[in-house]
Amino acid sequence: MEKSNHIIKALGYSYLITIVILFIYNAVLTFTDLSGSTIALVTSIITTVSSAFGGFYASKKIQEKGLFYGILVGFFYISFLLLVSYLAKDSFAFEINSLYKVLLVTISGGIGGVLGVNFK
């Protein structure tokens, strides 16, 4: 039960980081002349970093099987984002870009998990 609490907290912190950084990026887009063409790249970076942090946090607290728990956090993280995206759009299509994001974010969660379990 304690492991699942750490996973849920890791997901919560990951989403919080995502929201805060997206608000900052939104402000930068609004108040500067920065092009909107950077949105796809920046959101990929934000989700990747947030997932890695979530994997890091969960495995640091659990102190075992960092790769497994990191991948688990990364997969749950991106799955929920895709679910929200599916519910928000009128027409949702699971494209190759979506698969790319799922793999990237899941792997980054695993990397964060490996780093977290070995962090002293």
How far, in Å, CA of 3 to CA of 95, rounded? 33
Q: Largest Cα–Cα distance of the chain, in whole Å?
A: 48
Q: What is the pTM of this model?
A: 0.88
- Sorting pLDDT into bands at 50, 70 and 90, what band is 79? very high
Beta-strand runs (E) in 1-120: none
**Burial (CB count <10 Å: 0-12, 13-18, 19+), residue 33:** exposed
Mean pLDDT for the stretch of residues 85-114: 87
Low-confidence winner among 26-40, 67-81, 85-99, 104-118 (lowest mean pLDDT): 85-99
The whole-chain average pLDDT of the chain stands at 90
Computed on alpha carbons and rounded to an integer, the radius of gyration of the chain in Å comes to: 15
How far, in Å, CA of 42 to CA of 22, rounded? 9
> Which is more confidently placed, 2 or 50?
50
pLDDT above 80 for 120: no
Q: Give tens-digit pLDDT for 11-63.
A: 999 999 999 999 999 999 999 888 888 888 999 999 999 999 999 999 999 98
